[in-house]
C-alpha cells in the first residue's frame, strides 16, 4: 500500500487554502506556488500549494506527504502548471528514481524542513545519505521542465 499522510481538515482548509490563495494573488510564501494538474479520472484541473525546489541544476516537485492525489494525477498526466499571481508556467514532469533522490531530499529538507520535517520520520538535511535513501521511496520527486516562453501572464 502506498504511503500518504493526509492533512487534517483544519490544515487543508486554513493552511493549504491560505497558501494557495496567496500564490494566486502573487504572494509566494518561502517560494511556494500553486500546482495545477488534471485529475486522472475527471480531467478537471486540481490545485494544491507546493514548494518547487531548485537544485542539482534543475527544478523539482517533492511530495513531503507521500503518494497523494496530486502525485498520482501528475504521474498520469505527465504535465501541469505552476502559478504565482498572474504568472502561469506550464511544465512536463518525469519522476526521479529512488536511488537519485538523496541529494534532492537533503536540499528540500534544508530549505523547508521547518515546515515538512515531521513527514520524514526524523530524517533531516543533516542525516546520512543512507537515512535519506531509506525514506526516499516514501517521497515521490518529479523533475519538471518548462518550455521557454510558454508561461502566461494575464
Residues spanned by the domain of 13: 9-146
The verdict on residue 109 lying in a domain is yes
Number of CB atoms found within 10 A of residue 23's CB: 22
Q: What percent of the chain has a predicted confidence (pLDDT) above 90? A: 66
The verdict on residue 64 lying in a domain is yes
The verdict on residue 92 lying in a domain is yes
Burial of 118 from C-beta contacts in 10 A (0-12 / 13-18 / 19+): exposed
Q: For residue range 25-37, what is the model confidence (pLDDT) as tens digits?
A: 565 556 789 999 9
The verdict on residue 21 lying in a domain is yes
The verdict on residue 3 lying in a domain is no
How many structural domains is the chain composed of?
1
Q: For residue range 77-136, what is the model confidence (pLDDT) as tens digits?
A: 999 999 988 899 999 999 999 999 999 999 999 999 988 899 999 999 999 999 999 999
CATH of residue 21's domain is 2.30.110.10
The verdict on residue 69 lying in a domain is yes
Amino acid at each position: 500500500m502506498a504511503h500518504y499522510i493526509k492533512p487534517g481538515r483544519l490544515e487543508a482548509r486554513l493552511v493549504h487554502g491560505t497558501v494557495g490563495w496567496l500564490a494566486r494573488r502573487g504572494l509566494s510564501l518561502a517560494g511556494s506556488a500553486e500546482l495545477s494538474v488534471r485529475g486522472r479520472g475527471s480531467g478537471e484541473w486540481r490545485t494544491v500549494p507546493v514548494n518547487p525546489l531548485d537544485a542539482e541544476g534543475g527544478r523539482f516537485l517533492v511530495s513531503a506527504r507521500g503518494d497523494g492525489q496530486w502525485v498520482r494525477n501528475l504521474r498520469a498526466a505527465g504535465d501541469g502548471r505552476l502559478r504565482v499571481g498572474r504568472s502561469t508556467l506550464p511544465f512536463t514532469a518525469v519522476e526521479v528514481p529512488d536511488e537519485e533522490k538523496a541529494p534532492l531530499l537533503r536540499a528540500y529538507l534544508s530549505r523547508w524542513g521547518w515546515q515538512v520535517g515531521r513527514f520524514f520520520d526524523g530524517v533531516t538535511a543533516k542525516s546520512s545519505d543512507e537515512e535519506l535513501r531509506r525514506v526516499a521511496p516514501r517521497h515521490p520527486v518529479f523533475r519538471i521542465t518548462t518550455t521557454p516562453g510558454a508561461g502566461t501572464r494575464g
